[in-house]
Amino acid sequence: MSDPKPQQMIDELDLILDRERTALMAGDLGKLEELLAKKEKIIGKLNAVTEFERESLAHVQTKVSRNQQLLDSAMEGIRAVAARMAELRRIRKGLDVYDQAGRRTRYGTRGASRLEKRA
């Protein structure tokens, strides 16, 4: 089997980037691991090739930048959810208040810890 030509690798990377975008837009973060491995493999091969068609690379670079922005947004959302969940766990344990002397007092919660769902 012969090595793929640079343009074939660029086309394959282009397809992977489209799949990555689709997974990011759908919130299917499980697919990203598989796509990342394929993307890294192709980029590694492309780094070893010295001749490129600049226009094809510019198109792929645009997609890489777009997907990175989507991934950054997804990570920001995950961090926000994690922070909110941590805050909810802290609140369930009780409420911290400070008296006039600046001493902290914790008031524990009573009963079962439940999260109320609202429509």
Residue 74's domain comprises 6-107
- Return the top range by mean pLDDT from 27-36, 44-53, 107-116: 27-36
Out of 4-13, 39-48, 89-98, which region has the weakest mean confidence (pLDDT)?
89-98
Asked if the structure places residue 116 within a domain, the reply is no
Asked if the structure places residue 76 within a domain, the reply is yes
Asked if the structure places residue 16 within a domain, the reply is yes
Determine the 3-state secondary structure of 118 from DSSP.
coil
The pLDDT, as a whole number, for residue 89 is 86
Asked if the structure places residue 45 within a domain, the reply is yes
**Domain count within the chain:** 1
On average, the pLDDT of the chain sits at 85
Asked if the structure places residue 91 within a domain, the reply is yes
Rounded Cα distance, 98 and 41, in Å: 56
Rounded Cα distance, 21 and 37, in Å: 15
Out of 41-50, 64-73, 79-88, which region has the weakest mean confidence (pLDDT)?
41-50
Assign 48 a pLDDT band (cuts: 50, 70, 90).
confident
Asked if the structure places residue 1 within a domain, the reply is no
Asked if the structure places residue 113 within a domain, the reply is no
Asked if the structure places residue 61 within a domain, the reply is yes
